Amino acid sequence: MTRLASLRRRLGARIGAKPAAVLAIAILAIVLPFGLDAFWLTTATFVLIAAIGALGLNVLTGYTGQISLGHAFFLAVGAYTAAVLGGTARLTAAIWLPAAGVVAALCGALVGPTALRLRGLYLAIVTIGLVFIGQHIWFNVAAISGGPGGRSFPPVTFGAFDFSPGQQLTLGGLVIDHNGLYYYLALIILAAAMLFIWNLVRGRPGRAMQAVRDREIAAAIMGVNLARTKMSAFVVSSFLAGVSGALYASYLSFATPGQWSLLLSVQYVAAIIVGGIGTVWGALLGSMVIFALPSVLQSLIPQSSSGGLPIDDISSIAYGLLIIVFFVLEPRGVVGLGARVASLWSRVAMRGGKGGGLSEETQPLERREATWAR
């Protein structure tokens, strides 16, 4: 116990527990592709891409309290923007990737005002409508979506530099293949997005979002413009969804309209519930659980012993169970579980700290810090 306490104190004193953890995660994320085979690297890449979109949903639903089941629509808008600009018009990803975010954000700004009049379940239902309208468009406007049969999506290209299958990058003896390239691109975009949202929610606009979530009228009386705040949340959320959708479709290289269905929205909602509503890390943690689940099940259960149930169905059942379990047992998601472990850890360390000869004066202070740490 004493050793644990002194370890924690030493770590905490030098760099602070949080930055140390972030650094460790960053290093792990960078070296991860070298330890994974193609199957798991592909899974990890899909997780990172999905986490970008989940982060967007967490801004809208988690931080601003606006329940949306329309995320699939904005993902699709991003994907088809990429298809039209990158595929049909053959522009570089340096254009279609940001454009996917911007076009989705514009759509978010267009539907925002309607959503501003609605709250809670009503908003959820109207945003479902958005998914259905999207489905109608994607199935019928073949020029954009390729019709019911689907269409191919452009690989990421920056000038002559190409992320297509078979391509690779050699960096000082290290070979990064097609999967690795997508992995690192998604990692960079996700890290930038997390940093942006982290700053946002600790600054003026993000505080306003959380105030609107907790008490709308009180927020307005404090000077928060409700319409503008919800609108920003919609725009930021759909921007990230658009970028995520474009990357997803590009990595898949082919998608049908049926893929942008309500189930996709539900998966994103599940991801933020499981990961942690209204947290930055929750989006990534939840995406790890939800979007890696089919791969995990596939590797755990040999098809012969699954009782004839396809993996997708087993995944769907598992999503449902996870949502129920987290709602009932830990509404703060995996992040909440982490906080519990952390507070247990600090309690253990504190108890050790007493024995470790902390002076009487410093004790209450440390204790106070620990209770604030959440």
Partner 1 sequence: MTASAAPMLEVRDLTLRFGSVTAFADLSFDVARGELFAVIGPNGAGKTSLFNVLSRAYVPTAGSVRFDGADLLRLRISALAGAGVARTFQNLGLFGELTALENVLIGRHHLMRSGTLRSGLWLGYARREERRHRAAAMEALEFTGIGHHAHAPTGTLPFGIQKRVEIARALAMEPKLMLLDEPVAGMSVSEREEITALVRRLHRERDLTLLLVEHDMGMVMRIAQRVLVLDFGRVIAIGTPAEVQRDERVIRAYLGEELEGDLAEVRR
Q: Segment contacting partner 1 (CB under 8 A): 148-156, 177-185, 194-202, 305-313?
A: 194-202
Please select the residue that binds partner 1; options are 50, 75, 219, 288, rule is CB under 8 A. Answer: 219
Q: Is residue 270 a contact partner of residue 323, using CB atoms and an 8 Å limit?
A: yes
Q: How many whole angstroms separate alpha carbon 117 and alpha carbon 234?
A: 13
Please select the residue that binds partner 1; options are 196, 330, 337, 343, rule is CB under 8 A. Answer: 196
H-helix segments, 215-360: 216-221, 226-252, 262-275, 280-300, 311-329, 333-355
Supply the minimum distance, in Å, between the C-beta of residue 191 and partner 1. 14
Please select the residue that binds partner 1; options are 200, 272, 274, 290, rule is CB under 8 A. Answer: 200
Please select the residue that binds partner 1; options are 98, 205, 294, 338, rule is CB under 8 A. Answer: 205
The answer to the question of residue 217 lying near partner 1 (CB under 8 A) is: yes
Residue 94: which residues within 8 A CB-CB, separation 6 or more?
A: 158, 159
**22: how many CB neighbours lie within 10 A of its CB?**
14
Tokens of 330: 């830990």
Please select the residue that binds partner 1; options are 167, 210, 261, 306, rule is CB under 8 A. Answer: 210
DSSP run (H or E) holding 254: strand 254-255
The answer to the question of residue 5 lying near partner 1 (CB under 8 A) is: no
H-helix segments, 15-119: 17-31, 38-57, 71-82, 93-116
The answer to the question of residue 14 lying near partner 1 (CB under 8 A) is: no
The answer to the question of residue 189 lying near partner 1 (CB under 8 A) is: no
- C-beta closer to partner 1: residue 10 or 215: 215
What's the number of CA atoms in the CB half-sphere (13 Å) around residue 204? 5
The contact pattern for partner 1, residues 274-313, with x = CB under 8 A and - = no contact, is ----x-----------------------------------
- C-beta closer to partner 1: residue 107 or 193: 193
Please select the residue that binds partner 1; options are 224, 271, 289, 314, rule is CB under 8 A. Answer: 224
- C-beta closer to partner 1: residue 121 or 221: 221
The answer to the question of residue 364 lying near partner 1 (CB under 8 A) is: no
Which residue has 């604030």 as its token pair?
372
Q: How many whole angstroms separate alpha carbon 304 and alpha carbon 27?
A: 38
Total residues in contact with partner 1, by rule CB under 8 A: 33
Q: Segment contacting partner 1 (CB under 8 A): 142-150, 207-215, 260-268, 280-288?
A: 207-215
- Mapped onto helix, strand or coil, the DSSP state of residue 171 is strand
Would you call 262 exposed, middle or buried from its count of C-beta atoms within 10 A (0-12, 13-18, 19+)?
Answer: middle
Q: Is residue 78 a contact partner of residue 101, using CB atoms and an 8 Å limit?
A: yes
- C-beta closer to partner 1: residue 13 or 217: 217
Under DSSP, the state recorded for 259 is G
- Identify the CA nearest to 152 among candidates 84, 218, 61: 84
The answer to the question of residue 116 lying near partner 1 (CB under 8 A) is: no
Q: Segment contacting partner 1 (CB under 8 A): 43-51, 132-140, 223-231, 350-358?
A: 223-231
The answer to the question of residue 199 lying near partner 1 (CB under 8 A) is: yes
The answer to the question of residue 232 lying near partner 1 (CB under 8 A) is: yes
Q: Segment contacting partner 1 (CB under 8 A): 121-129, 164-172, 200-208, 240-248?
A: 200-208
**How many Å is the maximal CA-CA distance in the chain?**
74
Chain residues in the site for partner 1 (CB under 8 A): 196-197, 199-200, 203-208, 210-211, 213-215, 217-226, 232, 235-236, 278, 368, 371-372, 374
